[in-house]
Amino acid sequence: MASWQQRLPGWRVLALVWAVLILGVGGTGAWLNHLGPLPRPVAEAPPAAPQPAPRPHAEAPAPSPEPPRAEAPVPAPPPHAEAPAPAPPPPQAEAPVLEPQAPRAEAPAPQAPDQPAAAGLPVVPAAADPALIEPGRYGPLPRIGLDGRTPIRAYGRAFDRGNTRPRIAVVIGDVGMNAAQADEALRRLPPEIALALSPYGHRLPQLAARIRERGTEILAAIPLEPAGYPLNDPGDRALLTAQPLSENLDRLGWALSRFPAYVGAIGAIGGMRGERFAQVPELIGAVQDALRARGLLYLDPRPGSGNPARAWGRGVDLVIDEPATRGEIERRLAELERIARERGSALGLAGSPTPVLVERLANWAAGLDASGLALVPPTALIRRPEGLADATSTPPPRTP
């Protein structure tokens, strides 16, 4: 058996081999450690996709526009593209602007409503037309518009000219002197019955506006010197036969400027009807000329006097409330019906809106249609001036 000395060379060789292997492995590790940068490309390859974004930010400070470009294209456009979706609300905000135009479409209706009850629309403008007003010494005065329109046309209540039944119109005077009576008349009477406002009344512009809102025609009451003057006193602004014409026309201007927007005038104050003044042709003629020049009608309050000679208008056929008792009022209303059937039309006048008159008129008017008669506004009965049959006179009110 070989001794250990004999085996020593083999062990040395084996030790040498291991030493070489160890040195090789260590050298390889040292070499790989030396080549450590090589893993960097390997590490850069995977994150290369996500990390280019930060690197542009690192370089972005120089080209600062690039970062906004990167953010704008990706998120910004989609929100802005959706923003137009809310944009339709603005058109909806414009829709309310179209809604007021619907009432505008209805506005023309009052211009020619000959069937006001059926349509349920106002038939007299609630507001005064500025085109039909001019300044006067005592306040606004009516006038004919530049387009030829008259207050008769503008503020007259429409009616059906095709209705062939006999017509009856009624005017109540001295309205405005008693607020409670005026309120009761507005509450109970039909709108076809016209109201004449006393120039001595209270809060006349406000009262006139309320009357127009219900579609009722308004007249200005003109205080003229009556029979029995000065015992019968028509007030300190009355037109008198002893005054010069210039003073009477000045007082007429005062009476006409007390409130706006009415169809014409009537020469009566309460139970006084200007009989003495109307007996002077040049005086009453000058008043009618002044009214016609302003596009106003004139109702002569003297029963049986006939139609005005120099103004569009009508004469009264009957006074309803003399005396103002229940039985007498009913008797005279029946007489008014008889006149209408015989002549085709009739115009009645009441001196004041007393409670008994308003009650009787309201009951009478409610049954008038069943009697085969038509209750109409006074403008439905006016006539051409008897003394002015040419084109210089004001045209009649417009109706369909």
| 149 has pLDDT over 60 | yes
Angstrom distance (rounded) from CA 76 to CA 83:
11
Lowest mean pLDDT among 67-76, 184-193, 200-209: 67-76
Better-predicted residue by pLDDT, 287 or 41: 287
Render the burial of 66-87: b for 16+ CB within 10 Å, e for the rest. eeeeeeeeeeeeeeeeeeeeee
| CATH for the 121-380 domain, from 1.10.1740.10, 3.40.50.300, 3.20.20.370, 1.20.140.10 | 3.20.20.370
> Which whole number is the average pLDDT over 115-138?
72
The domain spans of the chain are: 121-380
> Which whole number is the average pLDDT over 313-325?
96
Please give the pLDDT value at position 13.
60
| 103 has pLDDT over 80 | no
Stated pTM of the model: 0.69
End-to-end CA distance of the chain: 153
In terms of phi and psi (left: phi > 0; alpha: psi -120 to 50; beta: otherwise), the region of 218 is: beta
Angstrom distance (rounded) from CA 329 to CA 363:
12
Angstrom distance (rounded) from CA 221 to CA 223:
6
Please give the pLDDT value at position 225.
98
| 379 has pLDDT over 70 | yes
Q: How many helices (H) and strands (E) does the chain have?
A: 16, 11
Band of pLDDT at residue 4, cut at 50, 70 and 90? very low
Place of tokens 């009453």: 284
> Phi first, then psi: what are they for 218, rounded to 5°?
-120, 145
Band of pLDDT at residue 27, cut at 50, 70 and 90? low
What average pLDDT does the chain have?
79
Band of pLDDT at residue 112, cut at 50, 70 and 90? very low
Angstrom distance (rounded) from CA 137 to CA 139:
6
For a pLDDT cut of 90, what percent of the chain falls above it?
63
What is residue 144's three-state secondary structure?
coil
Contact call for residues 360 and 324 (beta carbons, < 8 A): no
Please give the pLDDT value at position 110.
32
Angstrom distance (rounded) from CA 177 to CA 202:
6
Please give the pLDDT value at position 42.
42
Band of pLDDT at residue 126, cut at 50, 70 and 90? confident
Q: What is the pLDDT of residues 262-296, one digit of tens each?
A: 999 999 998 999 999 999 999 999 999 999 999 99
Angstrom distance (rounded) from CA 85 to CA 298:
65
Angstrom distance (rounded) from CA 291 to CA 311:
7
Task: Look at the chain and count its residues.
Answer: 400
Please give the pLDDT value at position 24.
59
